């Protein structure tokens, strides 16, 4: 690995969402050409005209990107079909098996190599118009369309794409998505009635959190507001009340609702929910991987003199602040994640794989998948990651129908899509996602979802 690569990777690539940055760059052009930063007073009509023109141009760009995504999706499908009938790459995964016709990248794939897969088309023009009505993006003269503007437009587009009958499973991260970092879902949380509303609409709900506990009482402590509300709800039938699972430790502990028990949850034995691939991860490999991770974490604590304590669990290892009131510097947390990730990748014990449905048939596994991430105040290395956690929910709820729920019928809502390790980002390989920045944004997103479902029904 060259130093240049390491610097580029460590300082830049993992801190950028290239697709969002690219869209932002496209929107910057009409902003520069049409914004009117000169007049401050008395030019009301001019500003209104400017906003109208900027709106038209932004919307046009979003429509063009929307069409590029359509093209990307159709190529994705062609390439998948070619992979599946085995004529191109004989199941080796990357198209090396046949020199005559390697899969063609889409134009979007060439411009933004990190883009995709897309499980649904994204109505970006409509989503932009919706967010522009809310955020007055086109009326701004000094602040160009921002990263957050684009992130929220993408969320709206994704919500629009899954309403109208497609959405069957909504999974939620815990910290920062349902409650503030380290807090719990209290009975007064505005998120609770909105989650109950999803259940009422027969949508399954999974809480897919990295927080890893082996017993129900700890999850009850974090989620009691929701669990008690479900138990006490008069208008949910029994099947709807059973439509929630907690997936803890990213993909390690499954709890089903058991409303008669004191903590309203009961653990489901692994044998009942591990996917066949997960069942193949050996206990010895898991322990060996955690040993390597532990020693890498200890090295980081020593070399950077971190005010941190090591925490070893059966399916995770992490460092947390020794004094909870002291924050470990963000740079130190990120450095630790990148060091540990690198060491595990080089050790051959760790595998960077996601559930098979999206890797194509026959792709080889080797090693145990893991997720090293910066949790904001701590660093954890978990066995598996949220792509496996969400895949377990898809399988669990799909069993009635005989097959797992599909990516286009799944929406994962989370906050970690950019920081080192970004554990919610992993869910992108198995379903659609929405990227929120606070529990308040989750509330807005759920309201948007409910509004659209209502409109599409009537
Ligand atoms: P999430 O946002 O719900 O995925 O929760 C992430 C946070 O859970 C981390 O930042 C940790 O503070 C906390 N946590 C507690 N136990 C574990 C564990 O075993 N693995 C990973 N994170 C954990
Ligand atoms: Mg989170």
pLDDT digits (tens, 9 = 90+) for 25-66: 999 999 999 887 776 665 666 888 899 999 999 999 999 999
From CA 219, how far away is CA 244, in angstroms rounded?
Answer: 13
| Closest C-alpha to ligand 1, atom 13 | 211
Asked if 211 and 174 count as a contact pair (C-beta separation under 8 A), the reply is: yes
Residue 210 CA to ligand 1 centre (angstroms) = 4
Residue written as token pair 């198995």: 430
Asked if 123 and 166 count as a contact pair (C-beta separation under 8 A), the reply is: no
Residue 261 CA to ligand 1 centre (angstroms) = 25
Q: Note whether 166-275+386-454 and 280-351+368-383 share their fold.
A: no
> Which ligand is closest in space to the CA of residue 379?
1
Q: Determine the straight-line distance between the first and last CA of the chain, rounded to whole angstroms.
A: 57
Asked if 332 and 323 count as a contact pair (C-beta separation under 8 A), the reply is: no
Question: What's the confidence (pLDDT) of residue 86?
Answer: 54
From CA 79, how far away is CA 77, in angstroms rounded?
Answer: 5
From CA 80, how far away is CA 15, in angstroms rounded?
Answer: 30
Question: What's the confidence (pLDDT) of residue 400?
Answer: 67
Q: Which residues line ligand 1 (CB under 6 A)?
A: 173-176, 209-212, 249, 313, 316, 318, 375-376, 378, 380, 382, 423
**CATH architecture label of 280-351+368-383:** 2-Layer Sandwich (3.30)
CA dihedral 212, 216, 218, 220 (to 10 degrees): 120
228 is catalytic: no
Looking at residues 424-453, what average pLDDT do you find?
A: 96
Identify the helix (H) or strand (E) that includes residue 179. none
- Condensed to tens digits (0 to 9), the pLDDT of residues 144-177 reads 999 999 999 999 999 999 998 899 999 999 999 9
- Condensed to tens digits (0 to 9), the pLDDT of residues 242-300 reads 999 999 999 999 999 999 899 999 999 999 999 999 999 999 999 999 999 999 999 99
| Ligand 1 atom at minimal distance to the Cα of residue 176 | 2
Buried b (16+ CB within 10 A) or exposed e, 386-420: bbbbbbbbbbbbbeeeeebbbbbbbbbbbbbbbbb
Bridge partners, residue 432, by sequence: 411
| Ligand 1 atom at minimal distance to the Cα of residue 415 | 2
pLDDT band (50, 70, 90) for residue 116:
confident
From CA 172, how far away is CA 159, in angstroms rounded?
Answer: 14
pLDDT band (50, 70, 90) for residue 362:
very low
Asked if 311 and 317 count as a contact pair (C-beta separation under 8 A), the reply is: yes
The neighbour count for residue 357, using CB atoms within 10 Å, is 16
Question: What's the confidence (pLDDT) of residue 5?
Answer: 47
From CA 59, how far away is CA 65, in angstroms rounded?
Answer: 10
For the chain, give the mean pLDDT: 89
313 class by beta-carbon count within 10 Å (0-12 exposed, 13-18 middle, 19+ buried)? middle
| Closest C-alpha to ligand 1, atom 16 | 211
Tokens at 56, concatenated: 């038209």
> Which ligand is closest in space to the CA of residue 222?
1
Domain 166-275+386-454: which CATH number of 3.40.50.300, 3.40.228.10, 3.40.190.80, 3.40.50.1000: 3.40.50.1000
Ligand 1 pocket test: which of 210, 319, 433 has the largest number of ligand atoms within 8 Å of its C-beta? 210
From CA 337, how far away is CA 297, in angstroms rounded?
Answer: 9
Length, in residues, of the chain: 458
Asked if 263 and 271 count as a contact pair (C-beta separation under 8 A), the reply is: no
Catalytic residue among 17, 132, 175, 382: 175
Q: Give pTM, 2 decimals.
A: 0.91
- 90-94, 161-165, 227-231, 438-442: segment of lowest average pLDDT: 90-94
What are the distances in angstroms from CA 385 to CA 73, 80, 179, 369, 372?
25, 24, 21, 7, 9
- Condensed to tens digits (0 to 9), the pLDDT of residues 301-353 reads 999 999 999 999 999 999 999 999 999 999 999 999 999 999 999 998 877 67
Residue 256 CA to ligand 1 centre (angstroms) = 19
Question: What's the confidence (pLDDT) of residue 11?
Answer: 52
pLDDT beyond 90 at 366:
no
- 3-class DSSP assignment, residue 198: helix
Catalytic residue among 17, 132, 149, 173: 173
| Ligand 1 atom at minimal distance to the Cα of residue 315 | 19
Q: Which of 176, 140, 154 is nearest to 34 (CA)?
A: 140
Q: What residues does each domain of the chain span?
A: 18-81+104-154, 166-275+386-454, 280-351+368-383
Residue written as token pair 């919706």: 130
| Closest C-alpha to ligand 1, atom 9 | 375
- Condensed to tens digits (0 to 9), the pLDDT of residues 211-220 reads 999 999 999 9
Q: Which of 170, 172, 263, 261 is nearest to 214 (CA)?
A: 263
Bridge partners, residue 383, by sequence: 370
From CA 368, how far away is CA 128, in angstroms rounded?
Answer: 41
HEC-encoded secondary structure of 76-87: HHHHHHHHHCCC
pLDDT beyond 50 at 112:
yes
173 is catalytic: yes
Identify the helix (H) or strand (E) that includes residue 297. helix 283-303
Which residues have beta carbons under 5 A from ligand 2 (an ion)?
173, 175-176, 415
Residue 142 CA to ligand 2 centre (angstroms) = 32
Tokens at 34, concatenated: 């049409």
Asked if 430 and 410 count as a contact pair (C-beta separation under 8 A), the reply is: yes
Question: What's the confidence (pLDDT) of residue 99?
Answer: 43
Q: Order of strands across the sheet with 316-321?
A: 308-312, 316-321, 379-383, 368-374, 350-351
Asked if 245 and 254 count as a contact pair (C-beta separation under 8 A), the reply is: yes
Bridge partners, residue 433, by sequence: 412
- 3-class DSSP assignment, residue 449: helix
Residue 276 CA to ligand 1 centre (angstroms) = 25
């Amino acid at each position: 690995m060259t130093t240049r690569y390491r610097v580029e990777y460590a300082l830049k690539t993992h801190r950028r969402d290239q697709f969002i940055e690219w869209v932002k760059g496209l929107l910057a052009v009409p902003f520069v050409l049409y914004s009117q930063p000169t007049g401050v007073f008395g030019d009301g009509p001019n500003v209104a005209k400017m906003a109208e023109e900027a709106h038209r141009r932004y919307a046009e760009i979003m429509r063009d990107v929307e069409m590029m995504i359509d093209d990307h999706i159709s190529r994705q499908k062609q390439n998948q079909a070619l992979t599946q009938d085995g004529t191109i790459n004989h199941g080796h995964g990357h198209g090396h098996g046949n020199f005559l016709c390697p899969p063609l990248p889409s134009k979007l794939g060439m411009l933004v190599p990190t883009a995709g897969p897309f499980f649904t088309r994204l109505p970006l023009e409509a989503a932009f118009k919706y967010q522009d009505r809310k955020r007055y993006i086109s009326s701004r003269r000094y602040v160009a369309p921002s990263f957050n503007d684009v992130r929220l437009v993408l969320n709206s587009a994704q919500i629009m794409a899954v309403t109208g009958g497609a959405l069957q499973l909504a999974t939620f991260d815990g910290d920062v998505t349902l409650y503030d970092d380290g807090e719990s879902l209290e009975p007064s949380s505005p998120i609770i009635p909105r989650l109950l509303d999803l259940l009422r609409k027969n949508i399954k709900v999974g809480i897919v959190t990295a927080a890893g506990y082996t017993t129900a009482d700890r999850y009850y402590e974090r989620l009691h507001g929701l669990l008690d509300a479900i138990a006490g709800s008069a208008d949910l039938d029994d099947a709807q009340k059973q439509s929630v699972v907690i997936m803890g430790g990213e993909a390690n502990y499954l709890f089903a609702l058991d409303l008669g028990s004191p903590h309203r949850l009961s653990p489901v034995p692994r044998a009942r929910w591990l996917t066949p691939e997960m069942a193949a991860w050996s206990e010895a490999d898991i322990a060996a991987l955690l040993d390597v991770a532990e020693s890498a974490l200890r090295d980081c604590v020593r070399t950077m003199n971190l005010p941190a304590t090591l925490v070893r669990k059966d399916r995770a290892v992490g460092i947390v602040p020794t004094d909870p009131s002291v924050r470990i510097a963000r740079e130190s947390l990120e450095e630790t994640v990148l060091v540990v990730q690198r060491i595990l990748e080089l050790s051959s014990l760790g595998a960077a794989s996601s559930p098979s449905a999206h890797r194509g048939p026959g792709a080889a596994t080797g090693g145990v998948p893991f997720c090293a991430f910066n949790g904001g105040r701590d660093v954890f290395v978990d066995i598996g990651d949220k792509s496996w956690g969400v895949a377990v929910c898809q399988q669990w709820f799909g069993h009635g129908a005989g097959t797992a729920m599909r990516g286009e019928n799944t929406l994962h809502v989370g906050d970690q899509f950019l920081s080192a390790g970004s554990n919610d980002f992993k869910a992108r390989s198995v379903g659609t996602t929405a990227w929120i920045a606070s529990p308040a944004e989750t509330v807005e997103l759920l309201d948007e979802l409910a509004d659209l479902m209502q409109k599409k029904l009537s």
